[in-house]
């Protein structure tokens, strides 16, 4: 499980499923992140590794229509699969604009600014896998 330190400083991220966490709030071991800002997150799995100093988190994320996402980065790799909905833009620095669609997957390299595009008109559901450094916030504004 992630510690308070591991989740301190979380910033908004809807495409990545981590929107509207309060920067100074951490949730207890085994507890789910709070729902806020049109995004519902459910941690499905969380484990230390794959290497010392890293943690892997798998989340099921629902994003309501019209939710706009601030630009941000992660201290590790984000791998996402759109299970339903989509239609929103995913601008990733250094890459062509992408429109998220059900049945498609995408990855974001570590520390790469992304999000901030046009919001989807329909509810979107993502399965997100983060492999991030344990001692850093999972997300920060870019």
Domain CATH for 25: 2.60.120.10
C-alpha distance across the termini of the chain, in Å: 26
Residue whose C-alpha is closest to residue 119's, from 69, 81, 83: 69
Task: Tell which wins on pLDDT, 25 or 78.
Answer: 78
Q: How many domains does the chain have?
A: 1
pLDDT band at 22 (very low <50, low <70, confident <90, very high): very low
Average pLDDT, the chain: 78
Residue whose C-alpha is closest to residue 74's, from 56, 62, 101, 51: 56
112 in Cβ contact with 46 (< 8 Å): no
Residue 52, C-beta contacts closer than 8 angstroms, at least 6 positions apart: none
Rounded to an integer, what distance in angstroms lies between the CA atom of residue 45 and that of residue 11?
Answer: 21
Residue written as token pair 């997150």: 41
**Range of 71's domain?**
4-141
pLDDT band at 115 (very low <50, low <70, confident <90, very high): confident
């Amino acid at each position: 499980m992630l510690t308070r330190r591991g989740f301190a400083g979380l910033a908004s991220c809807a495409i990545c499923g981590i929107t509207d966490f309060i920067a100074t709030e951490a949730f207890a071991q085994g507890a789910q992140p709070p729902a806020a800002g049109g995004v519902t997150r459910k941690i499905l799995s969380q484990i230390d590794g794959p290497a010392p100093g890293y943690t892997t988190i798998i989340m099921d994320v629902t994003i309501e229509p019209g939710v706009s996402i601030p630009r941000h980065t992660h201290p590790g790799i984000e791998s996402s699969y759109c299970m339903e909905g989509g239609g929103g833009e995913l601008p990733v620095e250094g890459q062509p604009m992408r429109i998220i669609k059900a049945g498609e997957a995408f990855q974001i390299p570590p520390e790469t600014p992304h999000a901030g595009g046009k919001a989807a008109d329909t509810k979107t559901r993502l399965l997100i896998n983060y492999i991030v450094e344990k001692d850093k916030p999972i997300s920060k504004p870019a």
